[in-house]
Amino acid sequence: MITRRELFTGAAALAGAAAIPQVARAQNPPPPGDPFTQSRTPDGKIVPPSWTRPPHPEPGEPGKHYTPSVTLNGFTLPWKLVDGVKVFHLTAEEVPNHEFAPGLKAHCWGYNGQVHGPTIEVVEGDRVRVYVTNKLPEATAVHWHGIIGPNGMDGVGGLTQRSIAPNETFKYEFTLWQHGTFMYHAHHDEMTQMALGLMGMIVIHPREPRGPRPDRDFVFLLSEWKIVAGTMRPDPNEMTEFNVLTLNARCYPGTAPLIIKTGDRVRIRFGNLSAMDHHPMHFHGHYWWVTATDGGEIPESARVPEVTTIVPVGSTRTMEFVANNPGDWAMHCHMSHHVMNQMGHGLPNLIGVNTRGLDQQARQSLPGYMTMGDTGMAEMGQMGMRVPRNSLPMIGSKGPHDYITMGGMYTNIKVRDHLESYDKDPGWYEAPPGTRADVASIDEMQRDLGFIPGATPKPEGEHMHHHG
């Protein structure tokens, strides 16, 4: 085993690089090198930015140049080709009754009728032209987060352009000579417009990838909202108490599962445009290699295997793994309050409180009163009690064996040996005999532990024989 100290010595570093499995091999060419040493040509001239290069003569095509990505609970923005330029159209508008999960809807802002906006997917070397129409009640602008382009196309209202007034359409155009995972979002009245949903993802595939393409390429935008129970509008003024945490603007049990076939090479792209919180994204049953940030591809020698990766606010992370372990595996933010829904805040702490007789006394004034939370919170999602209109129990939904006590930023990864289709949910996993945890038998506990936990112990000396 290579220690952390040894990893930074020459020989161990070479051994560590050689030990990285094929899944972590670069999908794309490595970065061009140190920007500080390569910022000038041999004759001393400054190297111009990448967007000044002419576009590739062949616009990238799905299937031919890349495996299309999948934005669960969303879609990819269509484009058409005009004189070699890929043309897109975004419309910023109110999206009424966006569903976060069954039982919770809100009036949000989004693009093209979608919260969050559709994913923009292109290929390195493409020239793109994006028309943005504003149907909001106030001005807006669109920033292309992480994109290296002309200053006047950066999309910061008031700084690099005049903001787009209501009913106006602006045009953005640039050539993309970079690849990776990026984002776009409103950059005018950001607090309000981003809190209401004006954001989306950008995927740029490499023009000449190294190694095999992924079989499955998933895109997730992480976000957080404050929706007071019983209301229909997210609160853009909230700074700390967010109570709806989402993957692609959906919270569990409204999140679609990742459906994967055993042996698939899988890429997962996370972008985080939450207002205030980083998200340590964790998944079960496998480990992944962190292969890229929004700044570019991570050199193979610097990649690390992880099961939990922090995705900071305003950043993207790209992970890759081979799905070799069939089952239903959880994927979620590992901040425990980020896997709860809106009913989980502002409650008194009753853990350990002796509530004997309290219900009977309270019902004299409040008929139907029932104490909850004194033995934990798991029962609060499955009791079937009425909640305020347009709101969710704070945790979970029914699972195959019991109640799943997670909500919010959670979904399932379903890995199967056989699939009818990536578009059809295969149902819950049936574990082979002997591979699922279950109640231990008395014989097993007596054999391995030497006692039966929970059983009344024999009085001391009962087993002893006295002679006398």
Could you tell me the two tokens for 168?
């106006």
Structure letter (DSSP) for residue 110? E
- Residues ≥6 apart with Cβ < 8 Å to 240: 276
Per-residue pLDDT of the chain (468 residues; tens, 9 = 90+): 444 344 334 443 333 333 334 433 333 444 444 454 467 778 888 889 999 999 999 999 999 999 999 999 999 999 999 999 999 999 999 999 999 999 999 999 999 999 999 999 999 999 999 999 999 999 999 999 999 999 999 999 999 999 999 999 999 999 999 999 999 999 999 999 999 999 999 999 999 987 789 999 999 999 999 999 889 999 999 988 899 999 999 999 999 999 999 999 999 999 999 999 999 999 999 999 999 999 999 998 999 999 999 999 999 999 999 999 999 999 999 998 888 887 655 667 666 677 777 777 777 788 876 666 665 555 655 556 667 788 887 677 889 998 898 899 999 999 999 999 999 999 999 999 999 999 999 999 999 999 999 877 666 554 444 444
Q: What is the CA radius of gyration of the chain?
A: 27
- pLDDT value for 337: 87
Nearest partner of 158 among 133, 129, 194, 187, judged by Cα: 187
Residue 379 lies in a domain: no
346: left (phi over 0), alpha (psi -120 to 50) or beta: left
Distance CA 89, CA 183 (A): 16
Residue 130 lies in a domain: yes
Q: Cα 249 to the chain's mean position, in Å?
A: 10
Residue 86 lies in a domain: yes
275: domain CATH number is 2.60.40.420
Query: How do 180-186 and 199-205 pair as beta strands?
Result: antiparallel
CB 428 within 8 A of CB 328: yes
Structure letter (DSSP) for residue 458? P
Distance CA 410, CA 206 (A): 30
Rounded to 5°, angle at Cα 307 from 269 and 408: 65
Could you tell me the two tokens for 129?
């032209």
Q: Which amino acid is residue 336, in one-letter code? A: S
Q: Which domain holds residue 316?
A: 50-337
Convert 211-245 to b/e letters by CB count within 10 Å (16 or more is b): eeebbbbbbbbbbbbbbbbeeeebebebeeebbbb
- Residues ≥6 apart with Cβ < 8 Å to 372: 350, 379, 380, 383
Tally Cβ neighbours within 10 Å of residue 5.
Answer: 8
Task: Number of helices (H) and strands (E) in the chain: give both, helices first.
Answer: 5, 23
Residue 422 lies in a domain: no
Q: Which amino acid is residue 327, in one-letter code? A: G
Residue 273 lies in a domain: yes
Structure letter (DSSP) for residue 50? G
Could you tell me the two tokens for 119?
């994913």
Cross-strand pairs, 393? none
Residue 75 lies in a domain: yes
CB 129 within 8 A of CB 86: yes
Could you tell me the two tokens for 333?
């933010």
Residue 222 lies in a domain: yes
pTM value is: 0.84
Residue 367 lies in a domain: no
Q: What are the two backbone dihedrals, phi and then psi, of residue 143, each rounded to the nearest 5 degrees? A: -100, 135
Number of domains within the chain: 1
